[in-house]
Amino acid sequence: MRVSNAGKGMWKPEIPSRGVTSVILRYGFAVLSVSIALGTALLLSRYNFPDVADPLFLFAIATSVWYAGRGPAILALVLGSLANSYYFIEPIYSIAITHSDIPHFVVFILFALLITGFAAIRRRVEQGLREARDKLEIEAAERTQQASLLNLTHDAIFVRDMGFVITYWNLGSQELYGWTAEDAIGKQSHQLLQTVYPMPLDDIRAELLRTGRWEGEVNRIKADGTHVVVASRWSLRRDERQRPVAILETNNDITERKRTEEAIRKLNEDLEKRTAELASINKELEAFAYSISHDLRAPLRHMAGYAELLQKNASSILDEKSRRYMTMILESAKRMGDLIDDLLAFSRIGRAETQKTVVSLEQLVKEALSEVQQETDGRKIDWRIGALPNLYGDRSMLRLALVNLVANAVKFTRKRVQAEIEVGCTDGKEGETVVFIRDNGVGFDMKYVNKLFGVFQRLHRTEEFEGTGIGLATVQRIINRHGGRIWAEGLVDKGATFYFSVPKS
């Protein structure tokens, strides 16, 4: 395992100097050793112990090398040699040496060098050993720390050897699978967890050896017997000689995610099915509407046409009653024609695509007014049109909605000598425009407000106010298709107000 940078920083390789640290102290130690050796040798020679100078100086050199290092040892060697030569080797009190003493002196120096060398090597070895020991200690501390870190993570992490025998098992693994480290270590992983792999194990192994990694979803069984789906990531560990030795595996529990995914997939499938069904129903509906449009109006037209011709040709021989019958037939035919047209328009709004643009409400109201002109001619209507904003929506649909609402207001104020119709704009919720159309017409009972927007729902008798009962349903459908709301307020004989809202964008 690599020693991390932080670990390196914590570890300072110090030179072990056994108490003699500074240069002065170390060289002083050498001088002192040699001085003590010299003093002792001089003292002993005074008491007739000859030839102790050599071993004493060697001892001083050895002590210096041992405790103060190589530099002080060389100083001790030089000082010792000089002192030896000066005090103990003939001629005494001179650093010169006689010819016969040269071998003795050379051997002394060589021996001193040897001791120095040995001591230096020993020191180096000792230092190396100490460093190695410190390194090991740090590494051991780090490994312990990392192992406890692995235990902190929520992910399940475990290590297997190449025979799939578990050698490490973190706390996350225990939480996920319910087996403790004691249960797991030493067991074969796929026996313990009854793993079902998404592909043949040999293929996984091949990929792992080739790329050093493998990722996939595996099914396993926990200690309590429940199934679990995990996202599994494998990393191969190799030794220094690149032989695969272990597999580190990290797992995340994705059972819940898989269940949700499956649910979403199923929902999507259902939705697709429903959409297809709806599309086919819509198509049928379209064909139905098309057929009504073409085929249902033709016989109606014929009925009306022939009744009209009959009325013209036979009116002289028909009595009053029969003529009224003819009129009724014609009126009914016309009413059915209107119903068909309104119904088709209503169904078309449900099917047509909305094409939204910025639409001037003022312009739409103008167009609606000109559309109802036939009914307003000769009537006294006080139009109060406020400042009108732009709307965002499908122009032709919004136009149809406004024409319907304005036509309604005109229709239901018919009995007023002075009709008042107001079109304006009011504050709605944030992000929507609210438009209202208010009249002083016959109004309605709020009890029936829910019936107002239903298809074929009418609150007045036909002979009172004509109509197919589709107009407001059409308006509601248009507003709904714009994502807006429509509502109404009214009082019997006190007028009605219709509101609709359209989102601003």
Partner 1 sequence: MNELGRILIVEDDPKDVELTLTALEEYNLANEVVVTRDGEEALDYLYCRGNFKMRTSDNPAVLLLDLKLPKVDGLEVLQQIKSDEKMKMIPVVVLTSSREERDMVASYKLGVNAYVVKPVDFHEFVNAIKELGVFWAVINEPPPGSVRKNN
For residue 503, what are the β-bridge partners? Answer: 432
Nearer CB in complex with partner 1: 139/338: 338
The H or E element spanning position 239 is none
C-alpha to C-alpha distance for 31 and 75, rounded to whole angstroms? 8
CB burial string 424-459: b at 16+ within 10 A, e below? eeeebeeebbbbbbbbbbbbbeeeeeeebbebeebb
Cβ neighbour number for residue 380 with a 10 Å cutoff: 11
Pick from 71, 244, 337, 503 the residue near partner 1 by CB under 8 A: 337
Residues 6+ apart with CB under 8 A from 42: 87
For partner 1, the closer CB: 14 or 331: 331
Residues binding partner 1: what is the number (CB under 8 A)? 25
* Smallest distance, partner 1 to C-beta of residue 347, A: 11
Closer Cβ to partner 1, 18 or 283, answer by number: 283
Nearest approach in angstroms of CB 341 to partner 1 is: 7
User: From the list 344, 381, 407, 455, which residue makes contact with partner 1 (rule: CB under 8 A)?
Assistant: 344
Minimum Å gap between C-beta 367 and partner 1 is 19
Query: Interface with partner 1 includes 334 (CB under 8 A)?
Result: yes
341 binds partner 1 (CB under 8 A): yes
CB-nearer residue toward partner 1: 300 or 407:
300
Nearer to partner 1, 467 or 484 (CB): 467
Q: Which of residues 259-318 bind partner 1 (CB under 8 A)?
A: 289-290, 293-295, 297-298, 300-302, 304-309
**Contact pick of 135, 233, 348, 481 for partner 1 (by CB under 8 A):** 348
Stretch of 6-14, 267-275, 336-344, 478-486 lying at the interface with partner 1 (CB under 8 A): 336-344
Helix (H) or strand (E) holding 230: strand 227-238
Where does residue 287 rank: exposed (0-12), middle (13-18), buried (19+ CB within 10 A)? exposed
Q: How many CA atoms lie within 13 A of 221 on its CB side?
A: 7
Beta bridge partners of 233: 215, 250
Q: Is 7 in the site for partner 1 (CB under 8 A)?
A: no
Contact criterion met (CB below 8 Å) for 388 and 362: yes
Q: Does 333 bind partner 1 (CB under 8 A)?
A: yes
- Would you call the peptide bond into 244 cis, given omega within 30 degrees of 0 as the criterion? no
Applying CB under 8 A, does 430 fall inside the site for partner 1?
no
Q: With respect to partner 1, which residue has the nearer C-beta, 199 or 309?
A: 309
424 SS3 class: strand
Look at strands 244-253 and 390-394 and give their pairing: unpaired
Fill in the per-residue mask, 160 to 199: x = in contact with partner 1 (CB under 8 A), - = not in contact. Answer: ----------------------------------------
Interface residues with partner 1 (CB under 8 A) are 289-290, 293-295, 297-298, 300-302, 304-309, 330, 333-334, 336-337, 341, 344, 348, 352
